[in-house]
Amino acid sequence: MARVPSSAMAAAGLVGGYAIARWTKKRPLGGVVLGAAGLAAGREWHRRGGAPAAAGLGALYIAGFAGAHPLAKKVGAWPAVLGAASVVAATSWAVSDRA
């Protein structure tokens, strides 16, 4: 079975979590998607880079989620979420998936 890159998991968690929360109008459901994808990506980050990589990328994932909220007030919700997801995915690829 093909391995899903952790960068794709992280981006899918941020974008998918927002999309589910917005379209269902149930924020906790979006949080479940965000959390499940974050845990899956975190397991891969830990497997490939150890605890330091997992901690750093996990912190970036959470910062991307939190940072998209104030950024959305300036640029709009979708651009903020897509921007945060892009930064997290690119960093995850560089640290974990590239090797």
- Check whether 69 has a pLDDT greater than 80: yes
For residue 75, the model assigns a pLDDT of 98
Q: Which two tokens stand for residue 17?
A: 């979590």
> How many Å separate Cα 37 from the centre of its chain?
7
Q: How far apart are CA 69 and CA 63, in angstroms?
A: 10
For residue 26, the model assigns a pLDDT of 98
The pTM (predicted TM-score) of the whole model is 0.94
Q: Where are the alpha helices (DSSP H) in 25-95?
A: 27-75, 77-92
Residue type at position 76: G
CB contact set of 47 (below 8 Å; sequence gap of 6+): none
pLDDT band per the 50, 70, 90 thresholds, residue 77: very high
What mean pLDDT is reported for the chain? 96
For residue 2, the model assigns a pLDDT of 61
